[in-house]
Amino acid sequence: MVIQLSEDEANFRLRKWYNHVPCKDWCGASGETCGFLGREFPLRGKLSRPDRPPSDMALLFKKKVLLKNHTTFRIGGPAKCFYEAKTAKHLIAALRKARELKLPFFVLGEGSNLLVSDKGFNGLVVKIQDSRFKIQDSYLWAASGVSLSTLVRETGKRGLSGLEWAGGLPGTFGGAVFGNAGAFGGETKDNIIWVEALDPHTNFGMGASKNLKVKRFTKAQCKFGYRTSIFKERGWLVLSALLSLKRGDKKAIQGVALAHIKQRKERGPLEYPNAGSIFKNCKVTGVPKKVAGMFKGVIKEDPFPVIPTAAIIAKTPGLMGIKIGGAQVSKKHPNFIINTGGAKAIDVLSLINLVKRKVKKSFGVDIAEEIRYIE
Protein backbone atom coordinates (compact mmCIF):
# COMPACT_ATOMS: atom_id res chain seq x y z
CA MET A 1 0.00 0.00 0.00
CA VAL A 2 1.33 3.44 -0.90
CA ILE A 3 0.87 6.13 1.74
CA GLN A 4 0.52 9.68 0.46
CA LEU A 5 2.32 12.07 2.82
CA SER A 6 1.95 15.77 3.39
CA GLU A 7 5.11 17.86 3.42
CA ASP A 8 4.97 18.01 7.21
CA GLU A 9 4.79 14.23 7.51
CA ALA A 10 7.61 13.77 5.03
CA ASN A 11 9.82 16.08 7.07
CA PHE A 12 8.72 14.25 10.17
CA ARG A 13 10.08 10.98 8.76
CA LEU A 14 13.38 12.55 7.81
CA ARG A 15 13.89 13.53 11.42
CA LYS A 16 13.80 9.84 12.37
CA TRP A 17 10.88 10.21 14.70
CA TYR A 18 10.41 6.46 14.46
CA ASN A 19 13.25 5.99 16.93
CA HIS A 20 10.98 7.28 19.67
CA VAL A 21 7.27 7.06 18.86
CA PRO A 22 5.84 3.81 20.27
CA CYS A 23 3.93 2.98 17.10
CA LYS A 24 3.80 -0.73 17.81
CA ASP A 25 1.79 -0.11 20.94
CA TRP A 26 -0.39 2.69 19.63
CA CYS A 27 -1.12 2.27 15.93
CA GLY A 28 -1.95 -1.43 15.96
CA ALA A 29 0.99 -2.52 13.82
CA SER A 30 1.99 -6.14 14.19
CA GLY A 31 5.42 -7.52 15.03
CA GLU A 32 8.15 -4.90 14.85
CA THR A 33 6.83 -3.21 11.70
CA CYS A 34 5.48 0.28 12.08
CA GLY A 35 2.19 0.83 10.24
CA PHE A 36 3.18 4.43 9.53
CA LEU A 37 6.74 3.99 8.35
CA GLY A 38 6.30 0.58 6.73
CA ARG A 39 9.64 -0.58 8.10
CA GLU A 40 11.13 -2.26 11.12
CA PHE A 41 12.56 -0.12 13.85
CA PRO A 42 13.82 -0.36 17.43
CA LEU A 43 11.78 1.10 20.25
CA ARG A 44 14.29 3.07 22.25
CA GLY A 45 14.82 6.34 24.02
CA LYS A 46 12.73 7.51 26.97
CA LEU A 47 9.57 5.74 25.87
CA SER A 48 9.55 2.25 27.36
CA ARG A 49 7.58 -0.68 25.98
CA PRO A 50 4.39 -0.98 28.03
CA ASP A 51 3.34 -4.23 29.67
CA ARG A 52 1.10 -6.47 27.63
CA PRO A 53 -2.55 -6.68 28.69
CA PRO A 54 -3.35 -9.72 30.85
CA SER A 55 -5.29 -12.60 29.34
CA ASP A 56 -8.31 -11.97 31.57
CA MET A 57 -8.89 -8.23 31.93
CA ALA A 58 -11.88 -8.71 34.24
CA LEU A 59 -9.51 -9.78 37.01
CA LEU A 60 -8.12 -6.23 37.09
CA PHE A 61 -11.47 -4.44 37.11
CA LYS A 62 -12.11 -2.67 40.40
CA LYS A 63 -15.67 -2.71 41.72
CA LYS A 64 -17.88 0.13 42.95
CA VAL A 65 -15.31 2.91 42.57
CA LEU A 66 -16.74 6.33 43.44
CA LEU A 67 -16.43 8.53 40.37
CA LYS A 68 -16.59 11.74 42.39
CA ASN A 69 -12.99 10.97 43.32
CA HIS A 70 -12.07 11.02 39.62
CA THR A 71 -13.84 14.21 38.51
CA THR A 72 -12.92 17.84 39.13
CA PHE A 73 -16.53 18.54 40.17
CA ARG A 74 -16.19 15.99 43.00
CA ILE A 75 -19.64 14.72 42.06
CA GLY A 76 -20.70 11.27 40.93
CA GLY A 77 -21.79 7.88 42.19
CA PRO A 78 -19.98 4.54 41.81
CA ALA A 79 -18.88 2.81 38.63
CA LYS A 80 -19.86 -0.84 38.50
CA CYS A 81 -16.36 -1.58 37.17
CA PHE A 82 -13.30 0.63 36.92
CA TYR A 83 -9.97 0.11 35.14
CA GLU A 84 -6.89 2.25 34.53
CA ALA A 85 -5.45 1.67 31.04
CA LYS A 86 -1.72 2.23 30.46
CA THR A 87 -1.83 2.05 26.65
CA ALA A 88 -4.20 1.67 23.74
CA LYS A 89 -3.69 -2.09 23.87
CA HIS A 90 -4.87 -2.15 27.46
CA LEU A 91 -7.79 0.06 26.50
CA ILE A 92 -8.81 -2.19 23.61
CA ALA A 93 -8.50 -5.30 25.78
CA ALA A 94 -10.68 -3.68 28.45
CA LEU A 95 -13.32 -2.62 25.92
CA ARG A 96 -13.35 -6.09 24.41
CA LYS A 97 -13.93 -7.58 27.86
CA ALA A 98 -16.71 -5.07 28.51
CA ARG A 99 -18.39 -6.10 25.27
CA GLU A 100 -18.00 -9.76 26.25
CA LEU A 101 -19.62 -9.07 29.64
CA LYS A 102 -22.29 -6.89 27.96
CA LEU A 103 -21.24 -3.85 29.96
CA PRO A 104 -21.65 -0.31 28.66
CA PHE A 105 -18.39 1.62 28.89
CA PHE A 106 -17.09 5.14 29.24
CA VAL A 107 -13.53 6.44 28.87
CA LEU A 108 -12.30 9.03 31.35
CA GLY A 109 -9.36 11.43 31.41
CA GLU A 110 -8.78 13.84 34.31
CA GLY A 111 -12.51 14.24 34.80
CA SER A 112 -12.86 17.93 33.93
CA ASN A 113 -15.71 19.24 31.76
CA LEU A 114 -17.79 16.36 33.09
CA LEU A 115 -20.82 15.76 35.33
CA VAL A 116 -21.51 12.22 36.52
CA SER A 117 -24.91 11.03 37.73
CA ASP A 118 -25.49 10.57 41.45
CA LYS A 119 -26.35 6.96 40.66
CA GLY A 120 -22.96 6.50 39.03
CA PHE A 121 -22.38 4.44 35.90
CA ASN A 122 -23.70 0.89 35.57
CA GLY A 123 -20.84 -0.34 33.42
CA LEU A 124 -17.09 -0.08 32.92
CA VAL A 125 -15.26 3.21 33.31
CA VAL A 126 -11.77 3.15 31.78
CA LYS A 127 -9.37 5.85 32.92
CA ILE A 128 -6.57 6.49 30.44
CA GLN A 129 -3.28 6.73 32.31
CA ASP A 130 -0.82 6.99 29.43
CA SER A 131 1.07 10.26 29.92
CA ARG A 132 3.83 9.73 27.36
CA PHE A 133 4.89 12.49 25.01
CA LYS A 134 7.86 13.26 22.79
CA ILE A 135 9.18 16.55 21.47
CA GLN A 136 11.47 16.36 18.45
CA ASP A 137 12.56 19.55 16.71
CA SER A 138 9.29 21.47 16.33
CA TYR A 139 7.02 18.41 16.50
CA LEU A 140 5.08 17.19 19.50
CA TRP A 141 3.64 13.69 19.77
CA ALA A 142 1.46 13.08 22.83
CA ALA A 143 -0.72 10.30 24.15
CA SER A 144 -4.23 11.20 25.22
CA GLY A 145 -3.54 10.91 28.95
CA VAL A 146 -0.97 13.72 29.16
CA SER A 147 -2.20 16.77 31.06
CA LEU A 148 -2.44 19.96 29.04
CA SER A 149 -0.51 21.79 31.75
CA THR A 150 2.45 19.45 31.23
CA LEU A 151 2.52 20.06 27.48
CA VAL A 152 2.19 23.83 27.90
CA ARG A 153 5.10 23.82 30.33
CA GLU A 154 7.38 21.49 28.36
CA THR A 155 6.86 23.14 24.98
CA GLY A 156 7.35 26.57 26.53
CA LYS A 157 10.65 25.47 28.09
CA ARG A 158 11.87 24.60 24.60
CA GLY A 159 10.76 27.87 23.02
CA LEU A 160 7.99 26.23 20.99
CA SER A 161 4.90 28.29 20.28
CA GLY A 162 1.42 26.88 19.70
CA LEU A 163 0.05 25.84 23.08
CA GLU A 164 0.55 28.92 25.24
CA TRP A 165 -3.15 29.81 24.84
CA ALA A 166 -3.88 26.74 27.01
CA GLY A 167 -2.04 28.07 30.04
CA GLY A 168 -4.09 27.16 33.11
CA LEU A 169 -6.57 25.03 31.17
CA PRO A 170 -7.45 21.83 33.06
CA GLY A 171 -7.81 18.36 31.59
CA THR A 172 -5.90 16.00 29.35
CA PHE A 173 -4.58 16.38 25.84
CA GLY A 174 -6.98 13.71 24.59
CA GLY A 175 -9.92 15.59 26.04
CA ALA A 176 -8.71 18.80 24.43
CA VAL A 177 -8.55 17.13 21.01
CA PHE A 178 -11.91 15.42 21.56
CA GLY A 179 -13.71 18.71 22.26
CA ASN A 180 -11.36 21.03 20.35
CA ALA A 181 -10.69 22.97 23.52
CA GLY A 182 -9.82 26.61 23.11
CA ALA A 183 -9.20 29.87 24.92
CA PHE A 184 -7.74 33.32 24.33
CA GLY A 185 -8.22 33.00 20.57
CA GLY A 186 -6.44 29.65 20.23
CA GLU A 187 -7.81 26.15 19.67
CA THR A 188 -6.41 22.64 19.86
CA LYS A 189 -6.97 22.12 16.13
CA ASP A 190 -4.61 24.96 15.19
CA ASN A 191 -1.46 22.83 15.26
CA ILE A 192 -2.81 19.34 14.58
CA ILE A 193 -1.18 17.27 11.81
CA TRP A 194 -2.99 14.01 12.55
CA VAL A 195 -4.95 12.27 15.28
CA GLU A 196 -5.10 8.56 16.04
CA ALA A 197 -8.43 7.28 17.34
CA LEU A 198 -10.61 4.22 17.43
CA ASP A 199 -14.32 3.59 17.03
CA PRO A 200 -15.43 1.61 20.11
CA HIS A 201 -18.75 0.79 18.47
CA THR A 202 -17.23 -1.54 15.88
CA ASN A 203 -17.33 -5.29 16.36
CA PHE A 204 -14.65 -6.71 18.63
CA GLY A 205 -12.72 -9.65 17.23
CA MET A 206 -10.48 -12.03 19.12
CA GLY A 207 -7.30 -10.94 17.37
CA ALA A 208 -5.21 -7.98 18.51
CA SER A 209 -6.64 -5.68 15.87
CA LYS A 210 -9.41 -7.68 14.16
CA ASN A 211 -12.48 -5.50 13.58
CA LEU A 212 -11.12 -2.85 15.92
CA LYS A 213 -8.34 -0.82 14.35
CA VAL A 214 -6.74 2.42 15.35
CA LYS A 215 -7.31 4.90 12.54
CA ARG A 216 -5.28 7.95 11.64
CA PHE A 217 -7.21 11.11 10.79
CA THR A 218 -5.77 14.10 8.97
CA LYS A 219 -6.68 17.50 10.33
CA ALA A 220 -9.38 17.89 7.70
CA GLN A 221 -10.84 14.47 8.51
CA CYS A 222 -11.13 15.45 12.19
CA LYS A 223 -13.91 17.92 11.26
CA PHE A 224 -13.02 20.29 14.04
CA GLY A 225 -15.61 22.89 14.94
CA TYR A 226 -16.36 25.16 17.86
CA ARG A 227 -15.75 22.90 20.89
CA THR A 228 -16.39 19.80 18.84
CA SER A 229 -14.85 17.26 16.45
CA ILE A 230 -15.76 14.10 14.59
CA PHE A 231 -14.62 12.20 17.68
CA LYS A 232 -17.06 14.00 19.95
CA GLU A 233 -19.89 13.78 17.44
CA ARG A 234 -19.47 10.03 16.92
CA GLY A 235 -18.21 8.97 20.32
CA TRP A 236 -14.80 7.86 19.06
CA LEU A 237 -11.82 7.60 21.40
CA VAL A 238 -8.77 9.81 20.88
CA LEU A 239 -5.53 7.93 21.54
CA SER A 240 -2.75 10.27 20.45
CA ALA A 241 -1.93 13.10 18.09
CA LEU A 242 0.95 14.79 16.33
CA LEU A 243 1.29 18.58 16.41
CA SER A 244 3.53 20.96 14.49
CA LEU A 245 4.70 23.90 16.58
CA LYS A 246 6.79 26.97 15.77
CA ARG A 247 10.10 28.20 17.11
CA GLY A 248 9.80 31.44 19.02
CA ASP A 249 11.12 33.51 21.88
CA LYS A 250 11.19 31.29 24.95
CA LYS A 251 10.58 34.05 27.49
CA ALA A 252 7.75 35.55 25.46
CA ILE A 253 6.02 32.18 25.02
CA GLN A 254 6.32 31.33 28.71
CA GLY A 255 5.17 34.84 29.60
CA VAL A 256 1.94 34.43 27.62
CA ALA A 257 1.21 31.06 29.23
CA LEU A 258 1.91 32.41 32.73
CA ALA A 259 -0.33 35.44 32.08
CA HIS A 260 -3.20 33.12 31.12
CA ILE A 261 -2.60 30.96 34.21
CA LYS A 262 -2.66 34.08 36.39
CA GLN A 263 -5.84 35.35 34.75
CA ARG A 264 -7.61 32.02 35.30
CA LYS A 265 -6.64 32.02 38.96
CA GLU A 266 -7.85 35.59 39.42
CA ARG A 267 -11.12 35.28 37.52
CA GLY A 268 -12.05 31.63 38.04
CA PRO A 269 -13.52 30.19 41.26
CA LEU A 270 -10.71 27.66 41.51
CA GLU A 271 -11.00 27.46 45.27
CA TYR A 272 -14.12 25.31 44.76
CA PRO A 273 -14.56 22.01 42.89
CA ASN A 274 -15.92 22.75 39.42
CA ALA A 275 -16.02 21.32 35.91
CA GLY A 276 -14.79 24.42 34.12
CA SER A 277 -17.06 26.44 31.84
CA ILE A 278 -20.58 25.05 31.90
CA PHE A 279 -21.81 26.71 28.71
CA LYS A 280 -20.27 27.45 25.33
CA ASN A 281 -19.83 31.09 24.43
CA CYS A 282 -22.46 32.48 22.08
CA LYS A 283 -21.61 33.14 18.46
CA VAL A 284 -22.46 36.73 17.59
CA THR A 285 -24.10 35.55 14.38
CA GLY A 286 -26.39 33.27 16.39
CA VAL A 287 -28.01 35.87 18.66
CA PRO A 288 -30.56 38.62 17.89
CA LYS A 289 -28.94 41.81 16.61
CA LYS A 290 -30.41 43.77 19.50
CA VAL A 291 -28.70 41.44 21.99
CA ALA A 292 -25.41 41.60 20.09
CA GLY A 293 -25.60 45.38 20.37
CA MET A 294 -26.21 45.20 24.12
CA PHE A 295 -23.01 43.19 24.60
CA LYS A 296 -20.92 44.94 21.97
CA GLY A 297 -18.32 45.99 24.54
CA VAL A 298 -17.47 42.42 25.61
CA ILE A 299 -17.42 40.65 22.23
CA LYS A 300 -14.14 38.75 21.78
CA GLU A 301 -12.46 36.49 19.25
CA ASP A 302 -12.65 32.82 20.35
CA PRO A 303 -11.49 32.26 17.57
CA PHE A 304 -14.43 34.01 15.86
CA PRO A 305 -16.60 36.78 17.38
CA VAL A 306 -18.47 35.51 20.44
CA ILE A 307 -20.33 36.97 23.38
CA PRO A 308 -19.01 35.45 26.61
CA THR A 309 -21.87 33.51 28.15
CA ALA A 310 -20.63 34.68 31.55
CA ALA A 311 -21.55 38.24 30.56
CA ILE A 312 -25.06 37.20 29.51
CA ILE A 313 -25.65 35.26 32.73
CA ALA A 314 -24.34 38.19 34.79
CA LYS A 315 -26.92 40.50 33.17
CA THR A 316 -29.79 38.04 33.64
CA PRO A 317 -31.84 39.01 36.71
CA GLY A 318 -31.66 36.62 39.64
CA LEU A 319 -28.82 34.37 38.47
CA MET A 320 -25.64 35.70 40.09
CA GLY A 321 -24.90 33.52 43.10
CA ILE A 322 -28.14 31.56 42.86
CA LYS A 323 -27.91 28.23 44.64
CA ILE A 324 -29.67 24.86 44.51
CA GLY A 325 -28.52 22.38 47.12
CA GLY A 326 -24.73 22.44 47.19
CA ALA A 327 -24.43 23.81 43.63
CA GLN A 328 -24.08 27.51 43.01
CA VAL A 329 -23.64 29.86 40.06
CA SER A 330 -20.30 31.47 40.85
CA LYS A 331 -20.34 35.16 41.69
CA LYS A 332 -16.72 35.34 40.58
CA HIS A 333 -17.30 33.81 37.13
CA PRO A 334 -20.98 33.11 36.34
CA ASN A 335 -20.21 30.57 33.61
CA PHE A 336 -18.92 28.32 36.40
CA ILE A 337 -21.13 26.28 38.67
CA ILE A 338 -19.27 25.45 41.86
CA ASN A 339 -19.63 22.65 44.37
CA THR A 340 -19.88 24.52 47.69
CA GLY A 341 -19.94 21.22 49.56
CA GLY A 342 -21.97 18.07 49.12
CA ALA A 343 -23.46 19.09 45.77
CA LYS A 344 -25.34 16.41 43.84
CA ALA A 345 -25.57 15.99 40.09
CA ILE A 346 -29.30 16.68 40.32
CA ASP A 347 -28.50 20.05 41.94
CA VAL A 348 -26.21 20.98 39.04
CA LEU A 349 -28.69 19.80 36.39
CA SER A 350 -31.49 21.78 38.03
CA LEU A 351 -29.30 24.86 38.12
CA ILE A 352 -28.27 24.44 34.47
CA ASN A 353 -31.91 24.21 33.38
CA LEU A 354 -32.85 27.23 35.49
CA VAL A 355 -30.05 29.33 33.96
CA LYS A 356 -31.04 28.31 30.43
CA ARG A 357 -34.71 29.21 31.02
CA LYS A 358 -33.95 32.60 32.55
CA VAL A 359 -31.44 33.55 29.82
CA LYS A 360 -33.94 32.53 27.15
CA LYS A 361 -36.68 34.58 28.82
CA SER A 362 -34.50 37.67 29.26
CA PHE A 363 -32.60 37.72 25.96
CA GLY A 364 -34.19 35.17 23.62
CA VAL A 365 -30.86 33.31 23.47
CA ASP A 366 -30.47 29.54 23.70
CA ILE A 367 -27.21 28.75 25.48
CA ALA A 368 -25.69 25.30 25.02
CA GLU A 369 -23.81 23.19 27.55
CA GLU A 370 -20.11 22.57 27.08
CA ILE A 371 -19.87 19.90 29.77
CA ARG A 372 -20.92 16.28 29.24
CA TYR A 373 -23.35 14.40 31.47
CA ILE A 374 -22.73 10.72 32.17
CA GLU A 375 -25.39 8.45 33.65
Q: What is the DSSP string of 214-235?
A: -EEEETGGGT-BTTB-HHHHHT
Same domain, 119 and 169: no
Residue 200 lies in a domain: yes
Task: Please say which residue of 112, 128, 144 terminates a domain.
Answer: 128
pLDDT in tens, the chain (375 residues): 334 445 455 444 434 443 444 443 334 333 333 334 333 333 333 444 456 666 667 678 999 999 999 999 999 999 999 999 988 888 988 998 898 899 999 999 999 999 999 999 999 999 999 999 999 999 999 999 999 999 999 999 999 999 999 999 999 999 999 999 999 989 999 999 999 999 887 754 444 444 567 899 999 999 999 999 999 999 999 999 999 999 999 999 999 999 999 999 999 999 999 999 999 999 999 999 999 999 999 999 888 899 999 999 999 999 999 999 999 999 999 999 999 999 999 999 999 999 999 999 999 999 999 999 999
DSSP H or E run through 352: helix 345-363
Residue 256 lies in a domain: no
Residue 296 lies in a domain: yes
Same domain, 165 and 294: no
CATH of the domain at 244: 3.30.465.10
Q: Enumerate the β-bridge partners of residue 40.
A: 33
Distance CA 131, CA 4 (A): 29
Same domain, 82 and 14: no
Same domain, 39 and 86: no
Cβ contact 164:79 at 8 Å: no
CATH of the domain at 283: 3.90.78.10
Residue 1 lies in a domain: no
Same domain, 108 and 118: yes
Residue 26 lies in a domain: yes
Same domain, 327 and 365: yes
Q: Specify the DSSP class assigned to residue 75.
A: -
Distance CA 191, CA 87 (A): 24
Same domain, 44 and 61: no
Residue 372, CA distances (Å) to 108, 159, 179, 231, 275 in order: 11, 34, 10, 14, 10
Q: Which of 9, 164, 196, 370 is catalytic?
A: 370
Same domain, 37 and 99: no
Same domain, 365 and 315: yes
277 is catalytic: yes
Give the angle 368-262-72 at the CA atoms, nearest 5°: 50
**pTM for this model (two decimals):** 0.81
209 is catalytic: no
Residue 67 lies in a domain: yes
Same domain, 294 and 348: yes
131 is catalytic: no
Q: Specify the DSSP class assigned to residue 172.
A: B
Residue 194 lies in a domain: yes
CATH of the domain at 93: 3.30.43.10
Q: Which of 164, 227, 244, 264 is catalytic?
A: 227
Cβ contact 170:192 at 8 Å: no
Q: Radius of gyration (Cα) for the chain, nearest Å? A: 21
How many CB atoms are located within 10 Å of the residue 113 CB? 25
Same domain, 241 and 308: no
Task: Please say which residue of 111, 128, 145 terminates a domain.
Answer: 128
Task: Please say which residue of 184, 216, 251 terminates a domain.
Answer: 251
Strand bridging mode 114-116 / 372-374: parallel
Range of the domain at 337: 269-374
Same domain, 283 and 367: yes
Residue 201 lies in a domain: yes
Structurally, the chain folds into a number of domains equal to 3
